[in-house]
Structure 1
Amino acid sequence: MTKQVRDWNKDKEFMNKKAPLSYNDLGVICYEIAPYWHEEAAAEKERGDKAEELLKDALGCMVMFAGINEHTQRIAAGMASLYPKEEEAK
């Protein structure tokens, strides 16, 4: 079975309707729109977590082969701003 692909802008427009929502509209939101985008967000987080680990590994390889220099320090600082430690993020 092929997964249906939803259109973010159409869903956003549907969610921002000014008129009172019907029971059918609420059903679409609860059973179609929200679960789809929740699943997409979870998949995106997983991809981001994998990318973070690969970037850390790549930086480690650069330091190992090139040593600590201005370039590796700049990359490390950039990564630290993108991926703050959990203690700092709280």
Structure 2
Amino acid sequence: MSRDWQKDMELIKIGETSDIPYCISEFKNMLPYYHQQYAAEKARADKAERREQKLKWGYEIILSYVPIRTRKELGFEGFLPSLYPKEETKP
């Protein structure tokens, strides 16, 4: 099942001035679909975030074995901070 977002938004705008029973009927069809889409997108985003955290953790572990001087010479010191700006890394 798929829905056209633009048509649904137009229906909502029209619904403000049109037949209420018709709008309720259409909204009953819309809500489960968009709820399902939200749940699927949230699951995908959560999975991607867990994967990103594992990659970050792995990078930090591997980097801990590289001497500090070498890290600085190769430019590794600024790599993670460039991916995660300060506002994102604050606890």
Whether TM exceeds 0.5 here: the answer is yes
Q: Separation in 1 of the partners of 2:86 and 2:8? A: 34
| More off after superposition, 35-44 vs 15-24 | 15-24
Matched with 1:70 is: 78
Q: Separation in 2 of the partners of 1:39 and 1:78? A: 34
SS at match of 2:18: coil
Matches within 5 A, 1:36-75: 36-67=33-64, 69-75=77-83
The Cα shift of 1:19 comes to 2.2
Residues 57 and 8 of structure 1, relative CA distance in 2, 3 Å threshold: same
The Cα shift of 1:54 comes to 0.5
The Cα shift of 1:72 comes to 1.4
Identity %: 23
Gaps of 5+ in 2: 65-75
The Cα shift of 1:42 comes to 1.2
Gaps of 5+ in 1: 86-90
Q: Separation in 1 of the partners of 2:54 and 2:19? A: 49
SS at match of 1:16: helix
The Cα shift of 1:20 comes to 2.4
Structure 1 runs of 4+ aligned residues shifted over 3 Å read 76-79
Q: Separation in 1 of the partners of 2:40 and 2:29? A: 17
Matched with 1:22 is: 20
With normalisation by structure 1, the TM-score equals 0.71
With normalisation by structure 2, the TM-score equals 0.70
